[in-house]
């Protein structure tokens, strides 16, 4: 394409308005919890693989981490107000750390390998502080006419699960993800109608376990581990979908 034709096309694109889209087209914005929330030790939030990865020397060029970020945990009302002022219809955000603690605190199941894990597990009590925080976020969005789109997993696996069971390399992760998803559906499904199970699973599989440039930074077994991780993510996705369809879909109609 000639330069002048490209510039003309760009100028025309700049004049696009809502009326150029179907009436029910949804305009939205999205964030990753680790990149914006901060408050790394608040609300029952335990360490994730991204906490460990970003604090490891040499993994992030400038040494940045998400300990504080833009402090959305304390300033979410300001962010919701900005979203509303910009005229967006939806906000997609994930649960993590404290969200997994919506989530669980200490596992009390028979498998001793998981007995001390801090974020989510089987047969444990939900972290009401984490649930309360996300209830407030969701309610604030709805008050402003913004539809919440919730992502269950956006790359920030609880560190304990990675260190003590191999994280996504272990098929047992599917059981943990199922309990976590069930808790989220039960806690927020009366107001959230749009769910994303796993954000960009290929990035976790390849960059996290193949190349090693994302958390947890593995690359030693790049010929096998990405495939195991991808397989277990697919199983976790299917399990979460099955739970939603069988237990929540009919009673969560809007």
Tens digit of pLDDT for each residue in 20-74? 999 999 999 999 999 999 999 888 888 899 999 999 999 999 999 999 999 999 9
Q: What kind of architecture, by CATH, is found in domain 26-252?
A: Alpha-Beta Barrel (3.20)
Torsion sign across C-alpha atoms 73, 74, 76, 82: negative
Question: Alpha-carbon distance 167 to 173, whole Å?
Answer: 6
| pLDDT confidence band for 113 (50 / 70 / 90) | very low
pLDDT tens column, 116-160: 223 444 545 677 888 899 999 999 999 999 999 999 999 999 898
Crossing angle of helices 128-143/173-188, nearest 10°? 50
Write down the pLDDT at residue 103: 42
Residue 110 has pLDDT above 60, yes or no: no
Cα 35-132-176 angle, rounded to 5 deg = 70
Write down the pLDDT at residue 95: 84
Where do the domains of the chain lie? 26-252
Contact 195, 202 (CB under 8 A): no
């Amino acid at each position: 394409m000639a330069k002048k034709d490209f510039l003309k096309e760009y100028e025309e694109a700049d004049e696009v308005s809502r009326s150029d889209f179907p009436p029910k087209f949804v305009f939205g914005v999205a964030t990753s919890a680790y990149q914006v929330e901060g408050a790394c030790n608040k609300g029952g939030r335990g360490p994730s693989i991204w906490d460990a990865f970003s604090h490891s020397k040499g993994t992030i060029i400038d040494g940045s981490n998400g300990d504080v970020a833009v402090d959305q945990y304390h300033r979410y009302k300001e962010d919701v107000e900005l979203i509303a002022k910009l005229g967006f219809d939806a906000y997609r955000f994930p649960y993590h750390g404290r969200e997994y603690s919506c989530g669980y605190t200490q596992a009390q199941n028979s498998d001793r390998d998981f007995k001390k894990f801090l974020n989510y597990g089987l047969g444990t009590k939900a972290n009401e502080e984490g649930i309360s925080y996300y209830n407030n976020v969701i309610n604030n969005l709805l008050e402003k006419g913004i539809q919440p789109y919730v992502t269950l997993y956006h790359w920030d696996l609880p560190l304990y699960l990675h260190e003590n069971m191999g994280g996504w390399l272990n098929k047992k992760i599917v059981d943990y993800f199922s309990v976590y998803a069930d808790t989220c559906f039960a806690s927020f499904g009366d107001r959230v109608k749009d769910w994303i199970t796993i954000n960009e699973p290929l990035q976790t599989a390849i960059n996290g376990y193949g190349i090693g440039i994302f958390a947890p930074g593995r690359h030693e077994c790049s010929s096998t581990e990405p495939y195991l991780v991808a397989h277990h993510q697919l199983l976790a996705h299917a399990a979460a979908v099955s739970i939603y369809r069988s237990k929540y879909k009919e009673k969560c109609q809007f």
